[in-house]
Amino acid sequence: MGQRHDVVIETLFRRLETIILMDSEAVCCETMDDDSEGWEEWEEKEDLEKQHCLFCECLFDTAEAVFKHCGSEHDFNLEGFVRENGIGFYDYIKMINYIRKRAPRPEELKCEVASRPWDSEEFLFPAQVNDGLLQYDVESLLEHLEACGTDGKMETAEEKVTRAEEKLSSAMSDLERLRIVVHDLLNTPEPSVDVASLRPSEDEAYFDSYAQLSIHEVMLKDRVRTQSYQDFIYKNEHLFKDKVVLDVGCGSGILSLFAAQAGARHVFAVEQADVVHWTRETVRENGFEDKITIIHGRIEDVDLPMDKVDLIVSEWMGYFLLFESMLDSVFTARDCWLKPGGAVYPDSCALWLVGIGNPAGHEAEIDFWNDVYGFRMSSLRRAAAIEGRVEMVNPTHILSQPVLVKRIDCCTDTVRDLDFVTNFSLHITRSAQLTDLCAYFEVYFEANCEHTVLLSTAPDKPPTHWKQTIFIWEQPFDVTAGEEICGSLACCKQAQDPRALAVTITLGSKQQTFLLQ
């Protein structure tokens, strides 16, 4: 791991651990002393270097002095800026690093705030070593506002304790999330991790899951899935007639059988899972043993008995389109075995996002943890919110237009293109409480086709075994019809398991990271 990654992790961990210690101290103080007016100031144990102003070359001993100077000399009130624009922990770190690296003028920063120009993983990396502004507890700037209710009255001691406990639980969960997600992200080697880098022994669990008959039964009984491939192959026989076809991850062998039936000269069907033994028997039973060759192994490791193939076909899609990272294997097969001018099918695909309003679902999945047989389980609530879920979405819960977040060309894109960040604008179609975001995908059979085929997993289309992927906001928020909400979606493989994904979604001022694993 590089030195700059070490600095990021150290800075973020030190910041969170400081918050945790402050919150722990606050809980103790509020419990022991009902008359306490606030938290004791946390004193840094390390001697920091002098701190640069955000907008000029002036140096100061403390972060507070920097902020005071920015307000008096540059007309930039950090407290007001943070409060008015909903800037939290992660946004604050990115914003400081953005200012250090891009050097916008204060008036430019005020104009740019709506577009969140610092909303990139690039700005998690400190621009200055030992930057005290990054370790400053920005949330303490707003402490006096949180201490007052909407009627301006000061909190009772009991209310202070409750709030302090909630902040402590939140900070503890943030630290755990940081360990799982940020540390994992920053330790991802270059180039991006892909399944080709796994040793067969490291991939056993994945292929063992496909050795069970039940999973193939589910896929074959998914008529939308299987019939889409059948329609594409049988209604475009000109693509297969007398061609050599490679079926990547053939499973039960159904696509190989379709291709042979459509007139392929020969089909090489590659499968690592032990279902391959049943597939061989199926090929023999249907009289295609002279046309279909079953190869037991990973596509990354096998040798085909010929130099190149004319066409690659594969049903590689996972939940959220990219879960399980089987598209990596298709790209490996394409780059190793496909003739120049050959084709891959499906030839393209798209990932879509739509807003969902489902308060009852949120209550059942997230708010449930607020009262479990009389006990609060806040840490489990936050853990539940991190998980991406695979569910069928009721189309009546949709409250926005769908927005495209990723398009993939299976013939030209590379593994590196599958880790991505996309900015988008979500157009709200009805006023409601936005509780979830729903992701679904479409794949297209179009290139050189006489009969094009679309396979869609959208909520308003016939159901498939992929269902939809749901990302539940821990804190729902109200939206208004006609509103445009700017956001972004970042997707990357997890370093410890490149078949699993980490998805970070920003919507307006809110940001949440989800895990698919």
Annotated catalytic residue within 271, 315, 365, 442 = 315
Whole-angstrom Cα distance, residue 49 to residue 457?
A: 55
- Furthest C-alpha separation in the chain: 87
| For range 71-98, the mean pLDDT | 84
What is the DSSP-derived secondary structure letter of residue 181?
I
Whole-angstrom Cα distance, residue 125 to residue 182?
A: 12
Is 186 a residue whose pLDDT tops 60?
no
Pair 357, 433: CB distance under 8 Å: yes
Pick the more confident residue, 38 or 447: 447
Report residue 83: phi and psi, to 5°. Answer: -65, -45
| For range 354-382, the mean pLDDT | 93
Report residue 311: phi and psi, to 5°. Answer: -155, 140
Is 370 a residue whose pLDDT tops 60?
yes
Whole-angstrom Cα distance, residue 324 to residue 316?
A: 9
Is 429 a residue whose pLDDT tops 70?
yes
Query: For residue 367, what pLDDT is reported?
Result: 93
Q: Say if residue 462 is preceded by a cis peptide, omega within 30 of 0.
A: no
Query: For residue 31, what pLDDT is reported?
Result: 45
Query: For residue 36, what pLDDT is reported?
Result: 44
Residue 108 CB contacts under 8 Å (≥ 6 apart), including other chains? none
Pair 247, 268: CB distance under 8 Å: yes
Whole-angstrom Cα distance, residue 402 to residue 438?
A: 9
Range with the poorest average pLDDT among 135-139, 203-207, 413-417, 489-493: 135-139
Residue 73 annotated to the active site: no
Is 293 a residue whose pLDDT tops 50?
yes
Query: For residue 191, what pLDDT is reported?
Result: 43
Is 157 a residue whose pLDDT tops 80?
no
Is 4 a residue whose pLDDT tops 50?
no
pLDDT bucket at 41, cuts 50 / 70 / 90: very low
Is 173 a residue whose pLDDT tops 60?
no
Range with the poorest average pLDDT among 153-157, 247-251, 387-391, 419-423: 153-157
Query: For residue 134, what pLDDT is reported?
Result: 81
Query: For residue 3, what pLDDT is reported?
Result: 45
Pick the more confident residue, 142 or 204: 204
Residue with tokens 């700017």: 486
| For range 129-146, the mean pLDDT | 66
Q: How is 161-178 classified by DSSP, letter by letter?
A: HHHHHHHHHHHHHHHHHI
Residue 315 annotated to the active site: yes
Query: For residue 101, what pLDDT is reported?
Result: 86
| For range 192-197, the mean pLDDT | 68
Pair 202, 336: CB distance under 8 Å: no
β-strand 403-409 against 348-356: which pairing, if any?
A: antiparallel
Pair 235, 450: CB distance under 8 Å: yes
| Residue 3 neighbours by CB distance under 10 Å | 7
Query: For residue 155, what pLDDT is reported?
Result: 55
Is 300 a residue whose pLDDT tops 80?
yes
Annotated catalytic residue within 165, 271, 300, 324 = 324
Is 38 a residue whose pLDDT tops 50?
no
b/e code 102-123 from CB counts within 10 Å (16+ = b): eebebeebeeebeebbbbeeeb
Range with the poorest average pLDDT among 76-90, 181-195, 432-446: 181-195
Query: For residue 34, what pLDDT is reported?
Result: 46
Residue 401 CB contacts under 8 Å (≥ 6 apart), including other chains? 354, 426, 427, 429
Query: For residue 37, what pLDDT is reported?
Result: 45
Closest CA to 505 of 517, 493, 488: 488
Whole-angstrom Cα distance, residue 45 to residue 257?
A: 69
Q: How does the average pLDDT of the chain come out, rounded?
A: 84
| For range 424-429, the mean pLDDT | 97
Percent of the chain with pLDDT over 70: 79
Pick the more confident residue, 455 or 176: 455
Tens digit of each residue's pLDDT (9 = 90 or more) over 99-114: 988 888 888 888 888 7
Whole-angstrom Cα distance, residue 446 to residue 451?
A: 8
Helix and strand tally (H, E) in the chain?
A: 16, 17
Q: Is 436 helix (H, G, I), strand (E, B) or coil?
A: strand
Tens digit of each residue's pLDDT (9 = 90 or more) over 236-282: 999 999 999 999 999 999 999 999 999 999 999 999 999 999 999 99
Is 226 a residue whose pLDDT tops 70?
yes
Whole-angstrom Cα distance, residue 429 to residue 453?
A: 29
Range with the poorest average pLDDT among 62-71, 119-128, 449-458: 119-128
Most confident of 3-12, 270-279, 435-444: 435-444
Pair 281, 272: CB distance under 8 Å: no
Most confident of 46-55, 237-246, 485-494: 237-246
423: tokens are 């900015």
Query: For residue 276, what pLDDT is reported?
Result: 92
Pick the more confident residue, 456 or 44: 456
pLDDT bucket at 165, cuts 50 / 70 / 90: low
β-strand 348-356 against 453-456: which pairing, if any?
A: unpaired
